[in-house]
Amino acid sequence: MRLFVGLGNPGAKYARNRHNIGYMAVDRIAQDHGFGPWKSRFQGVCAEGRFGSDKLLLLKPETYMNKSGQSVGAAMNFYKLQPSDVYVFHDELDLAPAKCRVKTGGGHAGHNGLRSLHAAIGADYNRIRIGIGHPGHKDRVSTYVLHDFAKADADWIDDLLRGISEGAVHLAAGDPGKFMNAVSLRTAPPRSSNMPEKSPAKKPVRADEPPPPEDTRSMLQRLADRFR
């Protein structure tokens, strides 16, 4: 069994915040793969489903971000899971918007949700780091992550969440490489092979090449030479 955790804050006023991209990711997985219904459990809400014979539990902690570890720890204890069974979807300031990376272990880099998870279950869980970009200065981080995404972000968010949802089956099977391929096909699709070919570039003329010799033949001589 795998546990997919989306980090965020509960309540409508936080729903479109950058900090809630983890919630958005597991919501999209539940929607696209027919999970549900969402039920109150483990100090959060859960939705159950399967990818083939493998059972998957989606969890959105409702303890607020800085106490996410309480909810995740409770679910892990109930199902007797190890940190390696846990995949946490969260916002990542150090990645550009629309970028996504999978990581196991490491530090929390000041992220309050990850800090709480480290304290509750250790650092050896898996993370899906979803890029939201950085505001440019650390003093602006709190306001930035607790602010809604701009309307102009809607397209890349949709592409990224589609890719995450389509790759979720590979992630649950323990294949992060195939997961990342699915994400890339949505966020950076390969260029079409039907693109028109560029005209061959003309051979550049070297500045030191001598000019061609002047043709001193008459028009009649040129015409006669063509038919020889």
Buried b (16+ CB within 10 A) or exposed e, 38-63: beebbbbbbbbbebeeeebbbbbbbb
Judge whether 118 counts as a catalytic residue: no
Is residue 143 one of the residues assigned to a domain? yes
Asked if residue 151 is part of any domain, the answer here is yes
CATH number at residue 76: 3.40.50.1470
pLDDT per residue as tens digits for the range 86-116: 999 999 999 999 999 999 999 999 999 999 9
What is the mean pLDDT of the segment spanning 138-161? 96
Domain of 91, in residue numbers = 2-187
Question: Cα–Cα–Cα angle for 47, 93, 71, nearest 5°?
Answer: 30
Report the percent of the chain where pLDDT is more than 70: 84
Give the pLDDT of residue 191. Answer: 73
Of 63, 68, 60, 48, the residue nearest 1 (C-alpha): 48
pLDDT at 54: 86
Range of weakest confidence among 46-55, 121-130, 157-166: 46-55
Q: Is residue 198 part of a domain?
A: no
Residue 224 lies in a domain: no
- Could you tell me if residue 194 is inside a domain? no
Indicate which residue of 19, 33, 90, 111 is catalytic: 19
Whole-angstrom distance, CA of residue 98 vs CA of residue 100: 7
Host H or E run for residue 159: helix 154-172
Residue 144 lies inside a defined structural domain of this protein: yes
Per the structure, the count of domains in the chain is: 1
Q: Is residue 201 in some structural domain?
A: no
In a domain, 220, yes or no: no
pLDDT tens digits, 178-223: 999 999 999 988 876 665 555 555 555 454 555 566 666 666 676 6
pTM: 0.83
Portion of the chain with pLDDT greater than 90, in percent: 79
Q: Would the pLDDT of 122 be above 90?
A: yes
